[in-house]
Chains A and B, each alone.
Chain A
Amino acid sequence: MRIKILLFGQLKERLGADFIEIEGVMDSDLLMVKLKSEFPVLSEISFRVAVDKNLISEKVVLSEKSEVALLPPFSGG
Chain B
Amino acid sequence: MSHTKVKNIFIQGAISPSFIMERIQKHSTKTDIGAHNIFIGQIRADEKDGHQVTAIQYTAYEEMALEKMSNIREDIFVKYPLTCLHVYHSLGLVPTGEICLFVFTSASHRKEAIDACEELVERIKVELPIWGEEIFDNGSQTWKINK
Q: Chain A interface (Cβ within 8 Å of chain B)?
A: 6, 8-10, 12, 50, 53, 69, 71-77
Cβ A10 vs Cβ B67 within 8 A: no
- Name B residues whose Cβ lies closer than 8 Å to a Cβ of A: 41, 58-61, 63-65, 67-68, 89, 100-101, 121, 124-133, 143-146
Q: How far is the CA of A71 from the CA of B143 in the complex (A)?
A: 13
Check A71 against B61 for contact (C-beta < 8 Å). yes
- Nearest B residue to A10 via CB reads B143
Inter-subunit contact A53/B64 (CB<8 Å): yes
The tally of CB-CB contacts under 8 A between chains A and B is 67
Which residue of the partner chain, among B41, B63, B101, B128, contacts A74 with CB atoms under 8 Å?
B128
User: Can you list 6 pairs linking A and B with CB atoms under 8 Å apart?
Assistant: A8-B61, A8-B129, A8-B131, A10-B143, A71-B61, A74-B126
Taking each of B65, B124, B144, which has the highest tally of chain A beta carbons within 10 Å of its own beta carbon?
Answer: B144
In addition to A8-B60, A8-B61, 8 A-B residue pairs with Cβ atoms within 8 Å of each other are: A8-B131, A53-B61, A73-B145, A74-B126, A74-B127, A74-B146, A76-B60, A77-B41
Q: Within the assembled complex, what's the spacing in Å between the Cα atoms of A75 and B78?
A: 26
CB distance from B32 to the nearest CB of A (A): 29
Q: Are B61 and A75 in contact (CB under 8 A)?
A: no
**Contact status of A72 and B131, CB under 8 A, knowing A9-B143, A50-B64, A77-B100:** yes
Contact present for B130 and A76 (CB under 8 Å): yes
